[in-house]
Amino acid sequence: MPAHEQFVASNEAYVSTFDKGALPMPPAKHYIVVTCMDARVEPASQLGIGLGDAHVIRNAGGSAKEALRSIVVSQRLLGTREVAVFHHTDCGMLTFTNEELREKVKAETPAASEIVGEIDFLPISDLEDSVKTDVAFLKESSLLLQDTVYTGWLYDVKTGKIKQVV
Amino acid sequence: MPAHEQFVASNEAYVSTFDKGALPMPPAKHYIVVTCMDARVEPASQLGIGLGDAHVIRNAGGSAKEALRSIVVSQRLLGTREVAVFHHTDCGMLTFTNEELREKVKAETPAASEIVGEIDFLPISDLEDSVKTDVAFLKESSLLLQDTVYTGWLYDVKTGKIKQVV
């Protein structure tokens, strides 16, 4: 059974107790979490983010660079003034290089050969470094507001614990 | 108090009952959810996504185009074969045009004037259309695997309900 066939039943259970229909669009606590798409990452429960509190941006690796468009929208239109970047242990982005993934895609899908070479998959070689680099990237971006608090963190998928890096 | 000062206390409560440290890296249910960063969206509870089940990609609007890099990584390295794209009612991306947001950024931050013109903020003019367009974009991408199930959905922030669009 495709996974999406379970969405409706799960959502009906959610709707039966839903009482948050009046929440406004801007995040109540004015912050953004940037984190990985990893299946073992669940920001709401792991960081105590209540519904309506924060913007949550997720992509492969938790790249702040790729999140920039979303952060600009969040700051300029919806009033956020704090960004927390989380990367995590055992991340898939630690397991390959751009060249290796490009070659794999080309071998599996020859039709992709021409365009896959243009994609930077943003692999990570060192977790703490990647968090520091991402926070520095945001701090230095002229597109973002000066009065922003930036922090950087690691989440440990084996223990469930977070650790502040920067 | 900055929001991040609450992360550690919230996370300690999470860790005290955490028993999922042995979950593997690949998503157990082999699917990806692409959805918006909106503060009222919480995929795990709203769709019944268990820890370890699925990759969750989030950005401003739930753009499948921006999610492409992450989806390639997910499919090629971590075995996912299904993608569900969710957009939602009352989305901030319905409230502006590229030109309006660029002018706002320039007015607030003159130093950003040169580079903000290069950014497509991916605003949305019609929700059902944007879901259909995003699913079509993924289906047509030569970078993605042929044997993939794609679905497209809307989430209603007032009722908590989902509706399948495509």
Section A100-125 average pLDDT? 97
Is B19 within any annotated ligand binding site? no
Residue A103 included in any domain: no
The Cα A153–Cα A86 span in angstroms is 5
Q: State residue A160's pLDDT score.
A: 98
**Tokens (6 digits) for B88:** 């939602």
Candidates B5, B73, B88: best to mutate against A (most CBs of A within 10 A) is B73
Q: Does A60 touch chain B (CB under 8 A)?
A: yes
Per the annotation, where are the binding residues of A? 36, 38, 88, 91
pLDDT digits (tens, 9 = 90+) for B68-104: 999 999 999 999 999 999 999 999 999 999 999 999 9
The pLDDT assigned to B7 comes to 98
Q: Is residue B153 part of a domain?
A: yes
Q: Judge whether residue A2 has pLDDT over 90.
A: no
Between CA B142 and CA A59 the distance in angstroms is 20
Is position B13 within any domain? no
Question: Which two structure tokens, joined as six digits, stand for A144?
Answer: 């973002």
Q: Largest Cα–Cα distance of chain B, in whole Å?
A: 50
Range of the domain at A134: 42-93+128-164
- With respect to residue A145, please indicate whether it lies within any of the assigned structural domains: yes
Mean pLDDT within B149-162: 98
Quick one: pLDDT at residue A1? Answer: 78
Q: Considering the entire predicted model, what is its pTM?
A: 0.98
Distance CA A5, CA B149 (A): 11
Asked whether residue B111 carries a pLDDT value surpassing 90, the answer given is: yes
Between CA A124 and CA A133, with CA A130 as vertex, the angle to 5 degrees is 135
**How many Å apart are CA B146 and CA B166, to the nearest integer?**
18
Chain B nearest-CA residue for A81: B2
Q: How many CA atoms lie within 13 A of B7 on its CB side?
A: 26
Residue B116 placed within a domain:
no
Residue B33 lies in a domain: no
User: B137 to chain A nearest CA, in Å?
Assistant: 15
**Tokens standing for B28?**
């157990």
Query: B57: which DSSP letter?
Result: E
The answer to whether residue A115 is domain-embedded is no
A7–B48 C-beta distance less than 8 A = yes
Mean pLDDT of all residues in chain A? 97
Give the best residue of B5, B15, B56 to mutate against chain A (max A CB count within 10 A). B56
Domain total of chain B: 1
Domain of B84: which CATH number?
Answer: 3.40.1050.10
- What letter does residue B153 receive in the DSSP assignment? E
Mean pLDDT on A139-153? 97
A84: three-class secondary structure by DSSP:
strand
B156: in domain: yes
Q: Residues in chain B, how many?
A: 166
A162: its two tokens = 């977070």
Q: What integer pLDDT is reported at residue B1 of this predicted model?
A: 78
Mean pLDDT of B4-23: 97
